[in-house]
Chain A
Amino acid sequence: MSYFSPTALADALDILSRGPGKIIAGGTDVYPSARPGESPDYFLDLTRVDALSAIRQNAAGTYFGATVTWTDIVRADLHPAFDALKAAGREVGSVQIQNAGTLAGNLCNASPAADGVPALLALEAVVEIASAARGARDVPLADFITGVRQTALAPDELVRGIRVPPQPEGMQSAFEKLGSRTYLVISICMTAANVLLDARGRIAEARVAVGACSAVAQRLAGLEKRLIGMRPADLRVTPEDLEDLSPIDDVRGTASYRLDAVQEQIQRTLQRASAA
């Protein structure tokens, strides 16, 4: 067992190409899911790799390096379209968790209740993957998480960063999380919505993504289409809008409760995202 903390991405990729190990960033998912007596061949700590810790904004969009933490996001000066992502960040666990936990770790851990996923789906984020053998490739977030705790990553790959394309001027965003207590709580369901209104105050574009109501968080394409041209005051989310969701029963709530709650939650999130 070894512990690697490379400073160059190329070194990190080389280490990873030698065989399976455990990538660690904030460790906030790695440690709680570690099983006693089972240790990886090595830990690959990404937190000292140069160039992975930055948030960059330019004409090509916004880029979050793989070790950007929730606190970095909450404190960054970002376009209002990122308000949902920031709000999600403020609700991840606690300050302690936000200071260590990373956006990339949240995606790679691929929990159905990962709070970062709906907001990034609503931002149409793309995941940048890298390996020593094959260089870099881009995967849209919707294709990156493939199931409960499953991603499109090959064993020798890591996430280098997350890219969000430029967002339309005027797009607003909101996030709602439902949990059984105030802090340190896993979502029963959560919704992120990004909305662009036209000059007459009608919905020109809407992106609505829902988490913890299916194996992988997802956008509600039917609802998004239906919203176009509507005045926010008129919008009513209906059970039909939720047809693609397939929530489960667990200790946090039943499937039928989740469907009821998320319907109301989507309604509220959309109202907030389209409020002037």
Chain B
Amino acid sequence: MNKQMPELSLSFTLNSARVSATPYPGQRLSELLREGLDARDVKIGCDAGDCGACTVLVDGKPVCACLTPAHQAQGRDVETLRGLRQNEPIAARLAESFQDHGAAQCGICTPGMMVSAVALLRDNPAPDEGAVQDALGGVLCRCTGYRKIIDAVVGAPAIAFDGAGEVGFALRRVDGAAKVAGDELFGDDVAPPGCLEILVIRAPYPRARFSFGDLEAFANTPGVAAVLTAADIPGKNAFGVIPQFVDQPVFAEEETRFRGEAVAAVVAEPAFLVQFAPQMFPVSWTELPAATDIDAAQSPQAADLHEGRANNVMCGGFVTCGDPKAGLARAATTVEGRFQSGFVEHGYIEPEAGFAEIVNGRVELHACTQAPVMDLEALADILGMDRSQIRILPTAVGGGFGSKLDITVQPYLALAALKTGKPVRICYTRNESMQSSTKRHPSDITLRIGADAQGRITGFDFLGVFDTGAYASWGPTVANRVPVHASGPYRIAHYRAESKAIHTNNPPAGAFRGFGVPQSAIAQECLFDELAERLGLDPLEFRILNALENDVPTVCGQVFHQGVGIKACLEALRPAWEAEHRAAAGFNEASGPLRRGVGVAAGWYGCGNTSLPNPSTFRAGVRPDGQVVLHQGAMDIGQGASTVMAQIFAAELGVTPGALELVGADTDVTPDGGKTSASRQTFVSGNAARLAGAALRAAILAKVNAAPDSEIAFGQGEIRMRGATEHHIDLAALPVDALGYVFRAEETYDPPTKPLDANGQGAPYAQFGYAAHLAVVEVDTAMGTVKPLKFVAAHDVGRAINPMLVEGQVHGGIAQGLGMALMEEYLPGRTENLHDYLIPTIGDIPPIETLIIEEPDAHGPYGAKGLGEHVLIPTAPAILNAIKAATGVRLHRVPATPQRLHDALKTGDRNGA
């Protein structure tokens, strides 16, 4: 190598092929691989080594490609998932094993996980759990809860299979193969290399006034294609997910309301942006006094963030039944407490990203999303365009958990493509993703509960105040849902629950798995333990005693005559509860700083929109060649909707899921499956898929008057039916419709609900799902650290369409609940990266036992209920109750960081920190 000459071009081996490249000095290997060498299987989640998604092997060793100078690859051997998958038998086996365990959910961390695991398995063909954890500790996953990944790497017996895929069968994911091969295309994976990029200019202060300098001069800088500001918005400079609360500007005008709010965007050549920093943009800022918590926002000095929302109260919710005052007065024992929680970040490993181009004069937009049709509607308003002029092509979604329901990159992409006429892309940095995306609402809850001497709840009075941030987002939904759910799945005849959503100069709080219910469950489930303790009752039996049952009204006065499964969930925990208590007591006989405790908590969650229409429409057809096509419009964000819909639809039609061709949620060709939120897809879209399957089958059978129970077989250009008599349809003889089908069905399902009256009485949901978790923890009382040792999770899912996917949801939800309980707190300006904002790693999640309870629901497809949010509702309170059992200390604030727990232990403060 030459002595003191700078390095220019380099050559190395990439997946067994010799490649050469000319990176710019300091270019990250991750960028070179993705943009210069077509290795888009290398995923970028943080650009800081914190997530490990970009892990590649350099001379056999796993490194983060984002921290590796491209020049260090010179002469080396670089391997990525795609190459390993093709060339390395260990990787091929691992890919099968990942699918056998559902170890890839959204799939964005899968390349990093698999590459790290291959390096391990090359060294150690039979690693134990600890070795796997050490080897994979550098890769974050937000979906799976890691346990299935460990199982896949150690080669545990499979839990998912290829097969007929009938309802109830643990079918492997229908989209699994692409994920484990590194072929799945996420938001940042579709743009052609070298196309224009967008950089958003954001507010550096919680609240500020701003003015632009010479934008025109800036726009004429070589390399800059366009500048976008509010002035470039042809339609309405506003978006929001709830029609009465469309209050967030695409670009702020004059004043910004939270740190990270967008004011402008630069559209430029990639080479320009390499040497550009947002501080170089011609904008000057004047910081203004800001209200960054609920108290400040409600103080008389605080400015109102939005006109017409006096005292920064955005909205509230209210449910009452019976006579709560009298109920509490009558109680033999009452407990009360105040519980608080902070912002929680969704922490999906895929930052918001997308690509847009103008095709035949229409905007075509590819981005990760949970709600393609809502994106389309929002863009139509912002762009002032007819919806027919916009096409949304959702990419694979690398985790969403609620935040990708709101639009983020979409308007920038569309505006930039329209203004420049050229293809454009954007990918948020981790920092801006965390600054600008929605969060879980911080909560401040006061609750009083009373019970009679036998332990029956007599009264319940709840006030929950939520920091909804600078804009509405899903805040109104949180405000509505919380009072409906704050009772937990219990019989409470005298009840009052009020919620308030308060604007602050914080990031908008929106949808996050559970819409406020995880927060209220902490207060309610922790106080249940306090109440049981006062009454001298076993906490589990106390819950069973008060559990809701069929024919017993909920706090909304809704009576379910069937399908209430909470008692079954709680009862299913009894054996573990007793065994774990004995084990913990045995452990605690030894003295020392380590104390163990067992905690339990329950939860419920109404599936679908609260008392609002919430339809899903599914279309399916048969092509003249005999191929059955299912338009699968329920966004699969990792949870497995594509697999579930395929299983349900196939079961109705009478074929195997493998026989289907799935078309995704492209808004040009697929009807609206509704948003992926509110645990509604299996329930609502599942019903639409069921109806579509049945309708298609009926149409085919009717064509030849075949018996209803006939077997249907699709062949090349034909359909054969066998029942009492045999039938045959020659598809070539049939007319082809405008969509290319010879048979077609399109069905809609909308769950039956009734509006809530002023007291919150009505029928908010057609079904609820139920859950109970048991947690065992070990507390280091000298350090304040908590180590969860085990979870047992009982979930009433009505009918497990696919038990492997049920387990996947349970594990992932518990991991997020654990994070919320023990480590996660987003502090604007302070924890805006995955280095300081901690989510659980593979070493933090203990074994989880999932108990599937099937109490069928009359409305659910095959009896199925939703599950996506139920899975984390009981986790945090179960952990807090276990900490209390271990130490005697009740924490009233999450996360229970080592410091908070230590402080509470030190002061012996039974009211907690």
A96 touches B62 (CB 8 A): yes
| Minimal Cβ-Cβ distance residue in B for A31 | B67
Instruction: Flag B46-68 by CB within 8 Å of A: 1 or 0 each.
Output: 01111010010000011110111
Instruction: Flag A1-35 by CB within 8 Å of B: 1 or 0 each.
Output: 11111111001001100000010101110111011
Q: Looking at the complex, which of A78-86, A121-129, A228-236, A249-257 is the stretch in contact with chain B?
A: A249-257
Complex contacts, B66 vs chain A, CB 8 Å: 31
B1 touches A7 (CB 8 A): yes
Q: What CA separation (Å) do A163 and B181 show in the bound complex?
A: 46
B69 touches A27 (CB 8 A): yes
Q: Which of A24-76 contact B (CB under 8 A)?
A: 24, 26-28, 30-32, 34-40, 42-43, 45, 47-48, 71
Q: A99-B61, A100-B68 are known contacts. Are A36 and B276 too (CB-CB below 8 A)?
A: yes
Indicate if A180 sits at the interface (CB-CB under 8 A): yes
A100 touches B827 (CB 8 A): no
| Minimal Cβ-Cβ distance residue in B for A99 | B61
A178 touches B7 (CB 8 A): no
Q: Which residue of the partner chain, among A4, A22, A30, A95, contacts B7 with CB atoms under 8 Å?
A: A4
B841 touches A27 (CB 8 A): no
Interface size, chain A (Cβ < 8 Å): 58
Q: Which residue of the partner chain, among B24, B49, B138, contacts A1 with CB atoms under 8 Å?
A: B24
Question: Measured between C-beta atoms, what is the minimum distance from A31 to chain B in Å?
Answer: 5
B1 touches A188 (CB 8 A): no
A185 touches B838 (CB 8 A): yes
Q: Which of B128-149 contact A (CB under 8 A)?
A: 133-135, 137-140
Complex contacts, A183 vs chain B, CB 8 Å: 133, 137-138, 841-843
Interface size, chain B (Cβ < 8 Å): 66
B50 touches A184 (CB 8 A): yes
B63 touches A96 (CB 8 A): yes
Complex contacts, B69 vs chain A, CB 8 Å: 3, 24, 27, 43, 45
Complex contacts, B830 vs chain A, CB 8 Å: 251
Indicate if B222 sits at the interface (CB-CB under 8 A): no
Q: Looking at the complex, which of B320-328, B554-562, B654-662, B781-789 is the stretch in contact with chain A?
A: B781-789
Complex contacts, B844 vs chain A, CB 8 Å: 181-182
Q: Looking at the complex, which of B303-311, B353-361, B760-768, B895-903 is the stretch in contact with chain A?
A: B895-903
B898 touches A261 (CB 8 A): yes
B49 touches A31 (CB 8 A): yes
Q: What CA separation (Å) do A37 and B275 show in the bound complex?
A: 4
Indicate if A93 sits at the interface (CB-CB under 8 A): yes
| Minimal Cβ-Cβ distance residue in B for A47 | B72
The total of Cβ contacts below 8 Å across the A-B interface reads: 177
Q: What CA separation (Å) do A70 and B395 show in the bound complex?
A: 39
Q: What CA separation (Å) do A47 and B105 show in the bound complex?
A: 37
Indicate if B3 sits at the interface (CB-CB under 8 A): yes
B63 touches A100 (CB 8 A): yes
Instruction: Flag B818-848 by CB within 8 Å of A: 1 or 0 each.
Output: 0000110001001100011010111110000
Indicate if A260 sits at the interface (CB-CB under 8 A): yes
| Minimal Cβ-Cβ distance residue in B for A10 | B3
Q: Which of B1-59 contact A (CB under 8 A)?
A: 1, 3-7, 24-26, 28, 47-50, 52, 55
Indicate if A143 sits at the interface (CB-CB under 8 A): no
Indicate if A186 sits at the interface (CB-CB under 8 A): yes
Q: A3-B6, A96-B116, A97-B64 are known contacts. Are A181 and B823 too (CB-CB below 8 A)?
A: yes
Q: Which residue of the partner chain, among A3, A27, A180, contacts B898 with CB atoms under 8 Å?
A: A180
Indicate if A244 sits at the interface (CB-CB under 8 A): no
Q: What CA separation (Å) do A2 and B6 show in the bound complex?
A: 6
Indicate if A146 sits at the interface (CB-CB under 8 A): no
Q: Looking at the complex, which of B169-177, B277-285, B511-519 is the stretch in contact with chain A?
A: B277-285
Q: What CA separation (Å) do A22 and B135 show in the bound complex?
A: 31
Question: Measured between C-beta atoms, what is the minimum distance from B580 to chain A in Å?
Answer: 22
Q: What CA separation (Å) do A15 and B24 show in the bound complex?
A: 19
Complex contacts, B140 vs chain A, CB 8 Å: 184
Q: What CA separation (Å) do A154 and B140 show in the bound complex?
A: 38
Indicate if B906 sits at the interface (CB-CB under 8 A): yes
Question: Measured between C-beta atoms, what is the minimum distance from A80 to chain B in Å?
Answer: 21
Q: What CA separation (Å) do A96 and B63 show in the bound complex?
A: 4
Indicate if B74 sits at the interface (CB-CB under 8 A): yes
Complex contacts, B52 vs chain A, CB 8 Å: 94, 96
| Minimal Cβ-Cβ distance residue in A for B593 | A264
Indicate if B71 sits at the interface (CB-CB under 8 A): yes
A32 touches B4 (CB 8 A): no
Complex contacts, A15 vs chain B, CB 8 Å: 4
| Minimal Cβ-Cβ distance residue in A for B277 | A37
Q: Which of B860-913 contact A (CB under 8 A)?
A: 897-899, 902-903, 906
Q: What CA separation (Å) do A37 and B277 show in the bound complex?
A: 4
Q: A26-B67, A96-B49, A261-B898 are known contacts. Are A42 and B28 too (CB-CB below 8 A)?
A: no
Complex contacts, A71 vs chain B, CB 8 Å: 61
| Minimal Cβ-Cβ distance residue in A for B25 | A3
A4 touches B4 (CB 8 A): yes
Question: Measured between C-beta atoms, what is the minimum distance from B397 to chain A in Å?
Answer: 24
Question: Measured between C-beta atoms, what is the minimum distance from A180 to chain B in Å?
Answer: 5
B278 touches A32 (CB 8 A): no
Complex contacts, B835 vs chain A, CB 8 Å: 32, 186
Complex contacts, B133 vs chain A, CB 8 Å: 182-183
Q: What CA separation (Å) do A248 and B897 show in the bound complex?
A: 17
B68 touches A253 (CB 8 A): no
Q: Which of B81-126 contact A (CB under 8 A)?
A: 116, 119
| Minimal Cβ-Cβ distance residue in B for A98 | B138
B836 touches A99 (CB 8 A): no
Complex contacts, A257 vs chain B, CB 8 Å: 784, 898-899, 902-903
Q: What CA separation (Å) do A32 and B66 show in the bound complex?
A: 9
Complex contacts, B28 vs chain A, CB 8 Å: 31
Q: Which of B276-299 contact A (CB under 8 A)?
A: 276-280
Complex contacts, A45 vs chain B, CB 8 Å: 69, 71-72
Instruction: Flag B640-662 by CB within 8 Å of A: 1 or 0 each.
Output: 00000000000000000000000
A4 touches B827 (CB 8 A): no
A14 touches B4 (CB 8 A): yes
B72 touches A93 (CB 8 A): no
Q: Which residue of the partner chain, among A14, A96, A253, A264, contacts B782 with CB atoms under 8 Å?
A: A264
Q: What CA separation (Å) do A30 and B26 show in the bound complex?
A: 10
Complex contacts, B784 vs chain A, CB 8 Å: 257, 261
Q: What CA separation (Å) do A43 and B7 show in the bound complex?
A: 10
Q: Which of B344-372 contact A (CB under 8 A)?
A: none
| Minimal Cβ-Cβ distance residue in A for B71 | A3
| Minimal Cβ-Cβ distance residue in B for A34 | B26
Q: What CA separation (Å) do A39 and B273 show in the bound complex?
A: 12
Complex contacts, B593 vs chain A, CB 8 Å: 264
B138 touches A178 (CB 8 A): no
Q: What CA separation (Å) do A37 and B274 show in the bound complex?
A: 7
| Minimal Cβ-Cβ distance residue in A for B75 | A48
Complex contacts, B841 vs chain A, CB 8 Å: 181-184
Q: Which of B584-600 contact A (CB under 8 A)?
A: 593
Instruction: Flag A94-117 by CB within 8 Å of B: 1 or 0 each.
Output: 111101100000000000000000
Complex contacts, B139 vs chain A, CB 8 Å: 94
Question: Measured between C-beta atoms, what is the minimum distance from A267 to chain B in Å?
Answer: 9
Q: What CA separation (Å) do A40 and B69 show in the bound complex?
A: 14
B823 touches A180 (CB 8 A): yes
Complex contacts, A253 vs chain B, CB 8 Å: 897-899
Q: Which residue of the partner chain, among A28, A37, A186, contacts B279 with CB atoms under 8 Å?
A: A37
**Other A-B pairs beyond A14-B4, A32-B835, A37-B280, 4, CB < 8 Å:** A95-B134, A96-B62, A96-B67, A251-B831
Could you give 20 example pairs across A and B, Cβ below 8 Å?
A: A1-B24, A3-B6, A3-B26, A26-B67, A27-B67, A32-B49, A39-B25, A39-B275, A42-B25, A43-B71, A45-B72, A95-B135, A100-B63, A178-B898, A181-B841, A183-B843, A251-B836, A253-B898, A253-B899, A257-B902
Chain B interface residues toward A at CB < 8 A: 1, 3-7, 24-26, 28, 47-50, 52, 55, 61-64, 66-69, 71-72, 74, 116, 119, 133-135, 137-140, 275-280, 593, 782-785, 822-823, 827, 830-831, 835-836, 838, 840-844, 897-899, 902-903, 906
Pick the 7 closest A-B CB pairs, nearest first: A94-B138, A37-B277, A182-B843, A183-B137, A2-B6, A3-B25, A257-B899
